[in-house]
Structure 1
Amino acid sequence: MAPRSPARDSVPVTSADPVRPRRRAWAGRNHTLLTAAAVVTGLGSHGALIASAFAVLEAGGDGGDVGLVAAARTLPLVLFLLVGGAIADRLPRHRVMVAANTLNCVSQGAFAALVLTGEPQLWQMVLLSALGGTGQAFFGPAAEGMLLSSVTAEQAGRAFALFRFATQGATLTGAAVGGALVAVIGPGWVLAVDAAAFAVAGLLRAFLDVSHIPPRTPGHGMLADLRDGWREFTGRTWLWAIVVQFSLVNAVVTAADAVYGPQVARDHLGGPGSWGLALALFGAGNAAGALLMTRWQPRRLLLVGTLCVFPFALPSAALAVPLPLSLLCAAMFVSGLSIEVFGVSWMTALHQEIPEEKLSRVAAYDWIGSVSLVPLATALAGPAEGGFGRPAALWGCAALVVAATAAVLCVRDVRDLTRRTGPVGVKRPGDGPDTAVPAAPASATGG
């Protein structure tokens, strides 16, 4: 139902064009640049996640310190995401993305320099992690809005699946190579590579074309824009219910992966290389799930997607035992595949239901809900381990994923929202939340 301009960069080239090769509708210039930039940053950032954790541990920190550095990155997301979403719906989104990449490049480069040149202090790592999180707060809503506006409704599902397939392939490679490089050359150089990746990605994103996006009409101030986005967000029950679900799911899974996973790898699995392999298998599952979604288009988008969140509890359970590395990798692969089915379904639902001019604001509310509990969870992961023991804390993470997912299945709009085919029910600029135009007799459109 989101408005889609006919002058989109994804319009395929006709056979009458004697120079330019034919492209699929999803392979327009913006889609190609966005995919290439995301692959570059994926290669760097997933190795850097491992590197930052082991940088803290090698500097003499413990699980609580790892959690504090992870929380410092996430806290600015909660503080600045709404501002970032409003700005991304006011300014050209690619400029916001480039500015955010520049900040990430500088902060990660400084982190790398500290690790390479001496003994980094905890407060320094916390500060630089927070600067990186600030960049992500402005980047995320702009990037999601840009991607969602870069494809046509007919090709959305396949385009998003192929984008995610490419980026998850980068996750697989980045995690595997990053984990190995941390073990061989140390975390500082891996962080330096991540800083360079942000620089390259920012350059690619500077060439994005926003001419297909209608000019923004003057608003009534940022607070008015945020209220408008809030009405759009709360007007759809399926939207806010799933965001609430993932506020809990993301929190406990991030705590398990960022705090407990490296420690289990160090104590039982052989060190950072094994944890990098496990994360790589999660990325391989993501890639397999995205590839599956290029062919499979489930009619009940969110019902199928939500059912596929249940296996997301498997890695926490495997770490709690702990299972041998081979079984942990299998659990990571299955959870990665299943969560990717949800991811593509979620993006397709947003593309179908949200007006283009409000995409970044809605994305900001989505992001802030999804990450709001992550700083608390990562900061409390160390104390929880001390109070209950690491296995009990990990079993608790798995149980909370299952409980939150079961609860959201009780929402009728989540079970009933249906994929549209063709232009039926497409929204125009200025339309409010759709509560009266079902795409099919059995569907519910939310709100």
Structure 2
Amino acid sequence: MIPDSSPRPSWAGRNYSLLTAAAVITSLGANGSLIAAAFAVLDAGGDAGDVGLVAAARTLPLVVFLLIGGAVADRLPRHRVMVAANALNCVSQAAFAVLVLTGEPRLWQMMLLTALGGTGQAFFSPAAEGMLLSSVQGEHAGRAFALFRMATQGAALGGAALGGALVAAIGPGWVLAADAACFALAGACRAFLDVSHIPPREPGTGLLADLRDGWAEFIGRPWLWGIVVQFSLVNAVVAAANSVYGPLVARDSLGGAGPWGLALGAFGAGTAAGALLMTRYRPRRLLLAGTLSVFPLALPSAALAVPVPVGVLYGVMFLAGATVEIFGVSWMTALHQEIPEHKLSRVSAYDWLGSVALIPLATALAGPAQSTFGRTPALWGTSALIATATALVLLIPDIRGLRRRDTGEAVAPHTSTDAKSVSGGQPAKSQ
């Protein structure tokens, strides 16, 4: 039991504190393991195409299992789903580490183990987002989400920088082993989450009915599906740049894994700074402010295309991280405000599905695209796609007009096409 004398704010209860601590732990491990996985493939003799295939193998199960994971998380206690997913991630990363440390891993083995990790994430992500969104109440939501993201992005800074340094110093295998240990520790924290405040789920009519209900909630809100479509493109090309082109540019022009880890760490530092800003900044037009802040995310790919000196790259990565975090906090606040609690995981699953659906394709095609067009044109194309997708989504009126509501106002029903309307829907959160 967390003592009442804790210095945490009054609104940061048991669940919020445990969720934040667990997310910090996994963020430390995961950001180092991303670098470790790429360099494990390169150290085993792989090329850009092989790095892309391993990255795609992790994301493909997300596309396959996310919707099922969201429906399961709205039916079963979310913390149990999260713990089971953490256990699977722990086992898969530990096996990956053993392969790297004891011999020369084969491509199919690395793809299989990263696919198992992606399967765990498919069940974890909707449950975790639903649990976090239900852990705080109305007026404190924006600050709570900003502090949560500041903590996790600060951990990302340390994880990426330390991971890159450790890969260079002792090799990727030990970094993968550390990530497995992080999953084990985080799962232990999440086992103590309290779900007694969440009303028991009413018996449903089946998994397909739950998925249809989630789809109706999703498609009835233009701001929701519009931004998900935008980020299906943005996330895909950013993933290709970070997991394939970034390590290759680092190897050829920046000095290897260490500087690339520091560049990712600079992005993490930027997101921590942006989250700190969002503890004070409360934009009334949530999604307009957030979407305008996505444009600088096009800069890192352009910097890699040049490529700029490593110090300039650090600055660009910091700026992109800081501005995109304005979007991140605004997005979470909008979901908290607009989506009924009992549908959070299903809606989050559609959100996650759209956001990652194109990542396997983009990462798998990154190597062939480099061979066909060249690495520099591919990186400039990444920047152009990010800017274009972000400009187009601003044409949706609800994205320009959705406003932050005062505590106690009701959630707009999913049949409304006006995201600003309030017409007696379910309460924004039950706590």
Which category of TM-score, normalised to the shorter sequence, fits these structures? over 0.9
Residue 256 in structure 1 maps to residue 212 in structure 2: no
Which whole-Å CA distance do the structure 1 matches of 2:159 and 2:219 have between them?
A: 37
Residue 26 in structure 1 maps to residue 11 in structure 2: yes
Residue 418 in structure 1 maps to residue 406 in structure 2: no
Q: 2:97 aligns with which of 75, 99, 112?
A: 112
Structure 2-normalised TM-score? 0.96
Which whole-Å CA distance do the structure 2 matches of 1:391 and 1:247 have between them?
A: 22
Paired residues for 1:323-362 under 5 Å:
323-362=308-347
Paired residues for 1:104-183 under 5 Å:
104-183=89-168
Q: What is the identity, as a one-letter code, of the residue corresponding to 2:165? A: A
Match of 1:369 in 2: 354
String of CA shifts for 1:392-427, please: whole Å, max 9, x gaps.
Answer: 000000000000000000110000000011212247
Residue 317 in structure 1 maps to residue 302 in structure 2: yes
Residue 385 in structure 1 maps to residue 382 in structure 2: no
The answer on whether the counterparts of 1:72 and 1:375 sit within 8 Å (CA) in structure 2 is yes
Which whole-Å CA distance do the structure 2 matches of 1:287 and 1:377 have between them?
A: 27
Q: 1:48 aligns with which of 24, 27, 33?
A: 33
String of CA shifts for 1:289-341, please: whole Å, max 9, x gaps.
Answer: 00000000000000000000000000000000000001111110000001100
Match of 2:42 in 1: 57
Match of 2:253 in 1: 268
The answer on whether the counterparts of 1:302 and 1:346 sit within 8 Å (CA) in structure 2 is yes
The answer on whether the counterparts of 2:221 and 2:419 sit within 8 Å (CA) in structure 1 is no
Which whole-Å CA distance do the structure 1 matches of 2:167 and 2:212 have between them?
A: 45
Which whole-Å CA distance do the structure 2 matches of 1:305 and 1:22 have between them?
A: 31
Question: Residue 155 of structure 1: SS of its match in structure 2?
Answer: helix
Contiguous gaps of at least 5 residues in structure 1: 1-8, 14-18, 441-447
Q: 1:186 aligns with which of 163, 171, 186?
A: 171
Q: CA deviation at 1:24?
A: 2.2
Q: CA deviation at 1:434?
A: 4.7
Which whole-Å CA distance do the structure 2 matches of 1:53 and 1:241 have between them?
A: 32
Match of 1:218 in 2: 203
Which whole-Å CA distance do the structure 2 matches of 1:437 and 1:114 have between them?
A: 50
Q: CA deviation at 1:122?
A: 0.4
The answer on whether the counterparts of 1:25 and 1:152 sit within 8 Å (CA) in structure 2 is no
Task: Quickly say closer, same or farther: Cα 1:253–1:432, change in 2 above 3 A.
Answer: closer
Which whole-Å CA distance do the structure 2 matches of 1:337 and 1:327 have between them?
A: 16
Structure 1-normalised TM-score? 0.92
Q: What is the identity, as a one-letter code, of the residue corresponding to 1:97? A: M
Residue 87 in structure 1 maps to residue 63 in structure 2: no
Match of 1:230 in 2: 215
Question: Residue 77 of structure 1: SS of its match in structure 2?
Answer: helix
Q: CA deviation at 1:432?
A: 4.3
String of CA shifts for 1:255-311, please: whole Å, max 9, x gaps.
Answer: 000000000000000000000000000000000000000000000000000000000
Q: CA deviation at 1:154?
A: 1.2
Which whole-Å CA distance do the structure 2 matches of 1:102 and 1:416 have between them?
A: 42
Question: Residue 198 of structure 2: SS of its match in structure 1?
Answer: coil
Q: 2:61 aligns with which of 69, 76, 82?
A: 76
Which whole-Å CA distance do the structure 1 matches of 2:125 and 2:306 have between them?
A: 35
Which whole-Å CA distance do the structure 1 matches of 2:17 and 2:248 have between them?
A: 38
Match of 1:98 in 2: 83
Q: 2:189 aligns with which of 193, 204, 214?
A: 204
Q: What is the identity, as a one-letter code, of the residue corresponding to 2:392? A: A
Match of 1:395 in 2: 380
Task: Quickly say closer, same or farther: Cα 1:145–1:354, change in 2 above 3 A.
Answer: same
Q: What is the identity, as a one-letter code, of the residue corresponding to 1:113? A: V
The answer on whether the counterparts of 1:26 and 1:158 sit within 8 Å (CA) in structure 2 is no
Contiguous gaps of at least 5 residues in structure 2: 423-431
Task: Quickly say closer, same or farther: Cα 1:300–1:247, change in 2 above 3 A.
Answer: same
Q: CA deviation at 1:25?
A: 3.8
Which whole-Å CA distance do the structure 1 matches of 2:353 and 2:266 have between them?
A: 28
Task: Quickly say closer, same or farther: Cα 1:437–1:241, change in 2 above 3 A.
Answer: closer
Q: What is the identity, as a one-letter code, of the residue corresponding to 1:297? A: R
Which whole-Å CA distance do the structure 2 matches of 1:153 and 1:374 have between them?
A: 34
Q: What is the identity, as a one-letter code, of the residue corresponding to 2:245? A: Y
Which whole-Å CA distance do the structure 1 matches of 2:300 and 2:17 have between them?
A: 33
Question: Residue 154 of structure 1: SS of its match in structure 2?
Answer: helix
Which whole-Å CA distance do the structure 2 matches of 1:125 and 1:233 have between them?
A: 35
Task: Quickly say closer, same or farther: Cα 1:314–1:26, change in 2 above 3 A.
Answer: farther
String of CA shifts for 1:330-362, please: whole Å, max 9, x gaps.
Answer: 110000001100000000000000000000000
Match of 2:390 in 1: 405
Question: Residue 196 of structure 2: SS of its match in structure 1?
Answer: coil
The answer on whether the counterparts of 1:320 and 1:391 sit within 8 Å (CA) in structure 2 is yes
Question: Residue 27 of structure 1: SS of its match in structure 2?
Answer: coil
Which whole-Å CA distance do the structure 1 matches of 2:66 and 2:410 have between them?
A: 30
Q: CA deviation at 1:27?
A: 1.1
Dislocated runs of 4+, deviation >4 Å: 19-23, 431-440
